[in-house]
Chains A and B, each alone.
Chain A
Amino acid sequence: GAGVSQSPRYKVTKRGQDVALRCDPISGHVSLYWYRQALGQGPEFLTYFNYEAQQDKSGLPNDRFSAERPEGSISTLTIQRTEQRDSAMYRCASSLASRSNTGELFFGEGSRLTVL
């Protein structure tokens, strides 16, 4: 596609439910990042994929959070047993080159998660 596409744009869920957030990166982009952004803050790194390999998941807050990118393209961020503190904007970004790059990140419009 023309840009990074994320869905759903808005998700309201009840505490304890699982949610899955999807990211479709720009075609051909090797690198894919997930970030979480609180209001008035910069994006906070969650995890990074190079093709289908998850090469850094150090930013995932706890084991309720997981991500996958099985075919090196679309990625899913899953949050199990959601809690109110998980409410945030979740942003996906992709980049053309891989680890050693200085490439710019292209961000999607984000998925706004609200946990009631």
Chain B
Amino acid sequence: SQKIEQNSEALNIQEGKTATLTCNYTNYSPAYLQWYRQDPGRGPVFLLLIRENEKEKRKERLKVTFDTTLKQSLFHITASQPADSATYLCASHTGGFKTIFGAGTRLFVKA
């Protein structure tokens, strides 16, 4: 079945460093991937979308890459801040009507 996998272990980094989160997909070839941020007790909030023909997308301190050979997307936050601490979710349309989500990776940025 179509799956999105994210590293379930929390990522702890120091303020000012670059955080890199990984999203891998299996058993399908998504036309695009989305990244969402989710704070505790809140609904996910959309951050970025990258299409399969785009290798890289940037928005302020965020950068997303899409490698169709590795079946992987990387999500980078540069110059990380404690306010970036949250869970980050990778999502994708499966070609039907579903948008499926990974389990998310928790990021902790220490001051």
Measured CB to CB, the residues of A under 8 A from B are 4, 33, 35, 40-45, 48, 50, 55-56, 58-59, 91, 93, 99, 102, 104-110
A-B contact sample (20 more), CB < 8 A, given A41-B104, A93-B43 = A4-B43, A41-B103, A42-B6, A42-B104, A44-B101, A45-B100, A48-B97, A55-B97, A56-B97, A91-B43, A99-B97, A102-B32, A102-B34, A102-B49, A102-B51, A102-B93, A104-B34, A105-B99, A106-B46, A107-B45
Is B31 in contact with chain A by the CB < 8 A criterion?
A: yes
Known: A102-B49, A104-B49. A43 touches B44 (CB 8 A): yes
CA distance A33 to B96 in the complex (A): 13
Measured CB to CB, the residues of B under 8 A from A are 4, 6, 31-32, 34, 36, 42-46, 49, 51, 89, 91, 93, 96-104
A-B contact pairs, 18 of them (CB 8 A): A40-B103, A42-B101, A43-B44, A43-B89, A43-B101, A44-B101, A45-B98, A45-B101, A50-B97, A56-B96, A59-B98, A102-B31, A102-B49, A105-B46, A106-B46, A107-B44, A109-B42, A109-B43
